[in-house]
Amino acid sequence: MAEEFIRPAIKNLQEYVPGKTPEKAGVIKLASNENPFGPSPLALAAIIKESKHLHIYPDQKSIVLREALSKKLGVKSDNIIAGNGSDEIMQLAAATFLRPGEEVIIPAHTFSLYKTFTQIFDGQPVVVALNNLEQDLEAMAKAVTKRTKLIFLCNPHNPTGTYLSAKQLDAFLNKIPDNVLVVLDEAYAEYAEAADFPGSIKYLKTDKNILILRTFSKFYGLAGLRVGYGLAKPELISYMFRVKSPFNVNRLAQAGALAALDDADFKDKTYQNNVGGKSYLYAELDKRGVEYKKTESNFIFINLKMSADEMFLQMMKKSVIIRPLTSFGLSKAVRVSIGTKEQNKKFILALAGLLLA
Ligand SMILES: *Cc1c(COP(=O)(O)O)cnc(C)c1O
């Protein structure tokens, strides 16, 4: 087939690089920041019940789920769009707002899909370097030009675990012109402990061009179900509704997410385990002189003296799957999800074996 058959933007695309999946029993996966406790039990029960209705198309607008979110967050249903994972909402944002050639500002070494969706819709990615592994808001604000359309921020930031404070985010948004949409990816916000972590919902009560992304994949343990949502002013949401495929969130996903929202025990257990896991890992890594970043998320960023790919292979031999950050452009760093107590211990044991070897 003639090469011209493929759109030029697509020729340069990289396929998404996922975390490796365990192939045998006894291997633990700490590579994709999934919930170590499995799915929310209330979600599971709701999914089994809902499965009787699988011959019927799902609600095209995820009305019941959006109403529950609306009550929980104190915003209008019209502020919310549900998606097949929050990945879909990112894609919808690019599809709905981006014109060919418009610029999209993205932090360096970040979640790869921001760049992918920009490229798919013929946008121009403008990658801004991190400062001390943190998103550099000053440099990102300076990167805005007349052609800028979208800015992606990730808070807490994947893969470094760092966060933008309420004050930093406020100051940044005040500098951004009205014709630019800021996409604030909060996939891990539920894990944040910092007292000055932004309460971003307040921006929905203002006129700001902001699209907040949340997901049921991590904190609620539903990564395999594929459901997330976006929050923005009703006008922006209404255009995204026109673009989305009609039945984007399936029946099981709508029912499961709805039930998970109110699973207080599961949420509490997930949060407390993460808090405990963090302090355990900090102490163990400190003891061994391993360099890491303090995290507001459910994973920890570790700087290595060796190649990340080599570290990944060595850890695989010890039945622990971690995420080498080579595909993020960081060849000497890894990201490790915070697991259960037992998993964290297994990771530290494997790491200690490597350090001694
Ligand atoms: C995991 C993750 C998501 C969630 O994606 P889903 O499509 O909702 O599963 C979004 N953004 C970042 C940065 C993530 O790490």
150 and 256 part of one domain: yes
Average pLDDT across the chain, whole number: 96
82 CA to middle of ligand 1, Å? Answer: 14
Mean pLDDT of 176-184: 97
User: What are the structure tokens assigned to 324, written together?
Assistant: 């080498």
143 CA to middle of ligand 1, Å? Answer: 25
At 56-114, the pLDDT tens digits run 999 999 999 999 999 999 999 999 999 999 999 999 999 999 999 999 999 999 999 99
In this predicted structure, the answer to whether residue 21 has a pLDDT above a threshold of 90 is: no
112 and 242 part of one domain: yes
Give the number of domains in the chain: 2
Q: What is the reported pLDDT for 3?
A: 79
Q: Is ligand 1 within 6 A of the CB of residue 225?
A: no
113 CA to middle of ligand 1, Å? Answer: 9
Domain boundary among 261, 290, 320: 261
Q: What is the reported pLDDT for 17?
A: 87
> Is 232 a domain residue?
yes
At 113-141, the pLDDT tens digits run 999 999 999 999 999 999 999 999 999 99
> Tokens 């690019």 sit at which residue?
94
Nearest CA to ligand 1 atom 12: 187
For residue 58, the enclosing domain spans 41-261
Q: Which of 217, 222, 227, 244 to mutate to test the pocket of ligand 1 (most atoms within 8 A of CB)?
A: 217
Mean pLDDT of 330-352: 97
Q: What percent of the chain has pLDDT over 90?
A: 92
At 230-285, the pLDDT tens digits run 999 999 999 999 999 999 999 999 999 999 999 999 999 999 999 999 999 999 99
Check: CB of residue 126 under 8 Å from CB of residue 103. Answer: yes
Q: Return the closest-CA partner of residue 259 out of 228, 220, 226.
A: 220
174 and 268 part of one domain: no
Q: The CATH number of the domain where 268 resides is what?
A: 3.90.1150.10
Q: What is the reported pLDDT for 19?
A: 87
Mean pLDDT of 2-14: 88
Q: Return the closest-CA partner of residue 123 out of 106, 147, 146, 98.
A: 98
pTM exceeding 0.85: yes
> Is 193 a domain residue?
yes
108 and 164 part of one domain: yes
> Is 3 a domain residue?
no
Nearest CA to ligand 1 atom 6: 85
Residues 6+ apart with CB under 8 A from 232: 79, 81, 204, 210, 211, 212, 240
At 233, which amino acid appears? K
Length of the chain equals 357
User: What are the structure tokens assigned to 106, written together?
Assistant: 């993205």
Q: Is ligand 1 within 6 A of the CB of residue 344?
A: no
CA distances from residue 141 to 87, 245, 322 in whole angstroms, order as listed = 24, 33, 34
CA distances from residue 54 to 40, 43, 48, 231, 239 in whole angstroms, order as listed = 21, 16, 11, 28, 28
217 CA to middle of ligand 1, Å? Answer: 7
b or e along 259-297 (b: 16 or more beta carbons within 10 Å of the residue's beta carbon)?
bbbebeebbeebeebbeebbeebeebbeeeebebbebbb
Check: CB of residue 346 under 8 Å from CB of residue 28. Answer: yes
Nearest-atom index, ligand 1, CA of 87: 7
